[in-house]
């Protein structure tokens, strides 16, 4: 090869790679799939000039594994659920937040702050909260038959159920049906819950956490577990889809913005969090995704029809036997083992 050609080729490679690498200021956001109206990101970029690199995951476990794999040097912002905030905080994977850079913090509802999973909100900012209950297509199934988690075991639902691809949520159902805490760490309870869930498997059509409401709307499944906001949106598309707060008690969850330790764009991450904390932005998110907002100022702006819907903002007595998922410590490996067995059809 002639030297000249080689030189031009190297130059070309160089130009190409600098084109790929010369970048405006950015922030890398790792979020649940279908969990943010993406036009908001464009608005943020237009306002601040900071580009958002947005990628998504479908389970806390996948998010956690990816963050550990990249040793923090990948994402500037992530969205663990409560119990993963707790776990990641204890393992030193999170960067403490600088409240001085988050003037919007004051908008948050004090009832959603200072929870045991992150006392004083040192590491996390609540984003949305909700419940996991039962979805049922009344066109295909008599809703009177589906009032409790235990009803999912009815033989007529064979191959008709959808469950989330989330081991803690699925085991919650197994444990609560047996009368145990959804956060049990007792190996005996877990064993029983696994046996119970095994009997549920013939009814399970698939596990999906990417877009459950689509699968209900397009008629692929008749009933199953769903998050309330997803159920609300499914109901908008097909009025036959209803959300049920199960008799044994629903699962309560909250997802939270955190900054992984080692994040490279700390200032930008704070800016994006504060942007998401604005009342009018919080309102847009809550209306579009139909989950409950922990942002008191945003809730005031939300369309009253949504704000007064008990599916999304349930009265306290509906939540009385509900339970938040908390970190189960070392028992997580036992959960994972049974989960693997369950999915392998053993």
- The residue ranges that bind another protein (CB under 8 A) are 9, 13, 16-17, 19-21, 28, 30, 33-34, 38, 42, 53-56, 58-59, 61-62, 65-66, 68-70, 73-75, 91, 159, 163, 201, 204-207, 210-211, 214, 217-220, 336, 340-341, 343-346
- Position of tokens 């790679």? 17
Query: Least Å distance between CB 220 and another protein?
Result: 5
Contacts of 177 (CB under 8 A, 6+ apart): 148, 149, 150, 153, 196, 248
Do the bridges between strand 323-324 and strand 251-260 make them parallel or antiparallel, or are there none, so unpaired?
parallel
The tokens for 332 are 């997580």
Residue 51 CA to residue 49 CA, distance in Å, equals 6
Query: Least Å distance between CB 161 and another protein?
Result: 9
Query: Least Å distance between CB 52 and another protein?
Result: 9
Query: Least Å distance between CB 23 and another protein?
Result: 9
Nearer to another protein, 73 or 191 (CB): 73
Contacts of 79 (CB under 8 A, 6+ apart): 30, 31, 32, 35, 63, 127, 255, 256, 257, 258
Nearer to another protein, 183 or 211 (CB): 211
Nearer to another protein, 260 or 322 (CB): 260
Query: Least Å distance between CB 133 and another protein?
Result: 20
Instruction: Check: CB of residue 128 under 8 Å from CB of residue 254.
Output: yes
Nearer to another protein, 11 or 336 (CB): 336
Nearer to another protein, 31 or 124 (CB): 31
The 10 Å Cβ neighbour count of residue 22 is 7
Nearer to another protein, 136 or 204 (CB): 204
Query: Least Å distance between CB 285 and another protein?
Result: 17
Nearer to another protein, 181 or 218 (CB): 218
Query: Least Å distance between CB 297 and another protein?
Result: 29
């Amino acid at each position: 090869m002639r030297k000249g050609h080689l030189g031009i080729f190297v130059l070309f490679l160089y130009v190409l790679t600098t084109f790929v690498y010369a970048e405006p200021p950015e922030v890398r956001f790792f979020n649940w799939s279908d969990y943010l109206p993406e036009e908001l990101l464009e608005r943020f970029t237009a306002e601040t000039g900071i580009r958002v690199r947005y990628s998504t995951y479908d389970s806390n476990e996948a998010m956690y594994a990816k963050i550990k794999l990249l040793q923090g040097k990948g994402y500037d912002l992530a969205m663990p659920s409560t119990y993963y905030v707790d776990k990641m905080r204890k393992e030193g994977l999170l960067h403490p937040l600088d409240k001085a850079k988050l003037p919007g913090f004051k908008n948050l509802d004090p009832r959603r702050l200072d929870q045991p999973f992150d006392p004083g909100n040192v590491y996390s900012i609540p984003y949305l909260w909700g419940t996991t209950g039962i979805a049922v297509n009344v066109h295909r199934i008599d809703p009177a038959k589906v009032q409790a988690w235990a009803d999912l075991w009815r033989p007529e639902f064979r191959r008709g159920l959808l469950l989330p691809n989330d081991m803690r949520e699925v085991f919650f159902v197994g444990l609560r049906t047996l009368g145990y805490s959804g956060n049990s760490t007792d190996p005996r309870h877990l064993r029983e819950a696994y046996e119970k869930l095994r009997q549920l498997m013939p009814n399970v059509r698939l596990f999906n956490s990417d877009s459950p409401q689509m699968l209900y709307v397009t008629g692929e499944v008749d009933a199953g577990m769903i998050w309330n906001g997803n159920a609300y949106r499914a109901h908008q598309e097909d009025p036959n889809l209803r959300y049920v707060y199960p008799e044994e008690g629903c699962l309560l969850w909250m997802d939270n913005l955190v900054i992984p330790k080692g994040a490279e764009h700390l200032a930008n991450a704070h800016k994006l969090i504060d942007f998401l904390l604005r009342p009018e932005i919080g309102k847009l998110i809550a209306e579009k995704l139909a989950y409950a907002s922990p942002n008191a100022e945003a809730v005031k702006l939300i369309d009253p029809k949504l704000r007064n819907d008990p599916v999304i903002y349930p009265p306290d007595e509906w939540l009385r036997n509900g339970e938040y998922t908390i970190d189960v410590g070392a028992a997580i490996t036992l959960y994972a083992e049974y989960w693997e067995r369950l999915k392998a059809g053993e």
